[in-house]
Amino acid sequence: MILVTGATGRAGGSVLNQLLHKGVAVRALVRDPERTALPEGVEVVRGDLADPSSLGPALADVESVFLVWPTIAADHAAPAVVTEIAKRARRVVYLSANGASADATGGILGSHAMLERLIEDAGVEWTFLRPTGFAANTLNWAPQIRAEGVVRWFHGAARRALIHERDIAAVGVRALTGDALTGTRPVLTGPAAISQVEQAHTIGDAIGRPVRFEEVSDEVARREIFAGQPAAVVDGLLAAHAALVAKPELVNDTVEQITGTPARTFAEWAADHAADFR
């Protein structure tokens, strides 16, 4: 049995579907089973990663766990959660992030680095997937695009190697069901680094109408886009995007090396999700 957390999200949901396609017994951890629609064949169990005491039923008879962590929000519970998982499961495949090195101590990358340390120290077999930017993060633009055909965002020239969630999942499934990736930290990228302006235009191509990009300053982004969010997290995001203007995000062929299939382009991702932007 494999337990998938984050099963209602993009990456976790893709892992769930690919495991089902392979005929693997799979269980999903969700906070509210009554309000969750998952594919037939998935065992749905109530639980919350922020509450370690709730995880017993979900972890019963589990061999492996695909762990998507509610970054920062549940960090207080991380040591106890990892302990509970290590008592029951033999293997953990953790969805981390590129840049989650031992030097990362704060913000999102610091949270990922902490989880990696806890899992590595827990005595389980582990794989840490370190993707670059998720293509699905551009869904944050969907309300603007649907309403006005515009993306008002920051650092339009920042170039990211955005990765399709199905490619992350394909690597994750191999780590969950085989031994070749045990003890590794594969960095996973899309096939090209494209600017945020180009991303907006590509979405426009997918939906059949123009989408324009309007640059906003960091100050406007803090006030209007990230209002109410922790300052340290916002500062980290803005600084990271500013750095990607001068030095585009890494591109590699790790997805193809592991899966035998090249990583999907952002245009493919946009076509797959066109309905979300219409």
Buried b / exposed e along 94-110 (16+ C-beta atoms within 10 A): bbbbbbbeeebeebbbb
pLDDT value of residue 101? 78
Distance from chain centroid for Cα 71: 10
Identify the pLDDT of residue 99.
84
- Helix residue ranges, H only, 2-70: 10-21, 56-59
- CA separation, residue 61 to residues 7, 26, 172 (Å): 18, 11, 20
Q: What is the pLDDT of residues 182-215, one digit of tens each?
A: 999 999 999 999 999 999 999 999 999 999 999 9
Which residue has tokens 């389980």? 124
Please give the Cα distance from 115 to 23 (Å, whole number): 29
Q: What is the mean pLDDT of residues 149-160?
A: 96
8 with 127, same domain: the answer is yes
Query: Has residue 184 been placed in a domain?
Result: no
Q: pLDDT tens, 66-103?
A: 999 987 778 888 899 999 999 999 999 999 999 887 77
Contact 163, 131 (CB under 8 A): yes
262 and 137 share one domain: yes
Residue 217 has pLDDT above 90, yes or no: yes
Which of 21-35, 75-89, 103-117 has the least mean pLDDT?
103-117
Residue 16 CA to residue 22 CA, distance in Å, equals 10
CA angle 50–13–36, rounded 5-degree value: 65
Residue 36 pLDDT level (bands cut at 50, 70, 90): confident
Query: Does the residue 270 lie in any domain?
Result: yes
Residue 20's Cβ-side half-sphere holds a number of Cα atoms within 13 Å equal to 16
Q: Work out how many domains the chain is built from and give that number.
A: 2
Q: How many CB atoms lie within 10 A of CB 236?
A: 17
Average pLDDT, the chain: 94
Say what the pLDDT of residue 34 is: 83
Tell me which residue range forms the domain holding 66.
1-131
Tell me, yes or no, whether 137 and 98 share the same domain.
no
Same domain, 14 and 125: yes
- Could you tell me the CATH number of the domain that includes residue 274? 3.40.50.720
Q: How confident is the model at residue 272 (pLDDT cuts 50, 70, 90)?
A: very high
pLDDT at 22: 94
Q: Are residues 150 and 229 in the same domain?
A: yes
Residue 241 pLDDT > 90, yes or no? yes
pLDDT at 229: 86
Residues 156 and 275 in one domain: yes
pLDDT value at 261 more than 90: yes
**pLDDT at 66 (0 to 100):** 98
